[in-house]
Amino acid sequence: MEEIKEFPETDTIELPPQPFEEPYRPAVSGKKKKKRKKKRYFLKFCIFCLLCTGGYYFLTSDYFNITTIDVIGNEYYTRAQLIQMTGLKTGKNTFEFDISRICDKLLEDPYIKNVKIRRIPMGTVRITVTERVEYAAVPYGESYVLLDNEGTVLRVSEEPPTLPLLLGMALVEMTPGKALVVEQSYLFTDTLELLEIMGEHEVYFKKIDFSTVMVKAYIYDTLYCEGAPGNIRDNMESVEKLLFELYQQEITHGVIKVGKDNYLSFSPNIE
């Protein structure tokens, strides 16, 4: 019988490690590399120009024309007046207008305290304004300087306003859009705060006289509170109760002296 040859269990043969050889790449000269880079830069530049041109024509298309102008927060100025002040017009492209410049122009008006202008898709421009409100008036010759609650000068009116009058103040500066400057600055600031809290109570001062060290806040021509503006402000609730009692007794003549720590005294005699 013939002998049967046994083969090894594995049919793989391990070869010794061979040195790594990089695949053949044809050499490229430096000039060709530069040409390729120039072509890529030129292609990118062309794509950039196309995008800019397309974007320009898209933004200046009729799609961005103004169709509606909304105005919010206006009371002193009408909607038509504010739109005229901005220079915005329907039918014009919204990007033809410099929004920041329009806002700066509006803020030059003493009655405009704050303004925001937004472009809204589908052709709407929304103008939101916060206006200063006429709060008090200071006689100036035969005219009246109108102020807001922060003492900002709004305008000079020839007509007597239906506002609390601040009498006896020595005016130093009265530039529209800026704070009124007076010699009695310490009394003026406290008086503005007094007028602001007045709206929270059923008390209305028709005029406040600064001609003495203590102000006189008139409810009627013959009935007034006398004291420091801060004291009257801090004791406003007690003043309101006393005025109600006087009203019930039909008393419209006298002086209410107001001091610290809720001090009140009434005298029917006017000094």
For the chain, the three-class secondary structure string (H helix, E strand, C coil) is CCCCCCCCCCCCCCCCCCCCCCCCCCCCCHHHHHHHHHHHHHHHHHHHHHHHHHHHHHHCCHHHECCEEEEECCCCCCHHHHHHHHCCCCCCEHHHCCHHHHHHHHHCCCCEEEEEEEEECCCEEEEEEEECCCCEEEEECCEEEEECCCCEEEEEECCCCCCCEEECCCEEECCCCCECEECCHHHHHHHHHHHHHHCCCCCCCCEEECCCCCEEEEEECCEEEEECHHHHHHCHHHHHHHHHHHHHCCCCCEEEEECCCCCEEEECCCC
The mean pLDDT of the chain is: 83
pTM for the structure as a whole: 0.72
Q: How far from each other are the two terminal CA atoms of the chain, in whole angstroms?
A: 154
C-alpha span between 166 and 147 (Å, rounded)? 10
Q: Which residues, 6+ apart, have CB-to-CB distance to 190 below 8 Å?
A: 228, 229, 230, 233
For the chain, give every domain's residue range: 64-131, 136-267
Among the ranges given (28-42, 170-184, 189-203), the one the predictor scored with the smallest mean pLDDT: 28-42
- Selecting from 2.60.40, 3.30.70, 3.40.1010, 3.40.50, what CATH number does the domain 136-267 have? 3.40.50
pLDDT at site 262: 82
pLDDT bracket for residue 153 (50, 70, 90): very high
What's residue 198's pLDDT?
A: 85
pLDDT at 207 over 70: yes
| Residues whose CB is less than 8 angstroms from the CB of residue 46 and which lie 6 or more positions away in sequence, other chains included | none
Domain 64-131 sits in which CATH superfamily?
A: membrane protein fhac (3.10.20.310)
Is the distance from CB of 165 to CB of 139 less than 8 angstroms? Answer: yes
Determine the pLDDT at residue 147: 96
Strand partners, 223: 220, 254
Please give the Cα distance from 186 to 183 (Å, whole number).
9
Read off the pLDDT of residues 85-105 as tens digits, 9 standing for 90 and up. 999 988 888 878 899 999 999
Instruction: Compute the Cα dihedral for 250, 252, 253, 254 and give only its sign.
Output: positive
Q: Averaged over 213-240, what is the pLDDT? A: 92
Give the integer Cα–Cα distance in Å for 265 and 226. Answer: 10
Task: Write out pLDDT tens, residues 112-152.
Answer: 999 999 988 778 899 999 999 999 999 999 999 999 999 99
Residue 5 has pLDDT above 80, yes or no: no
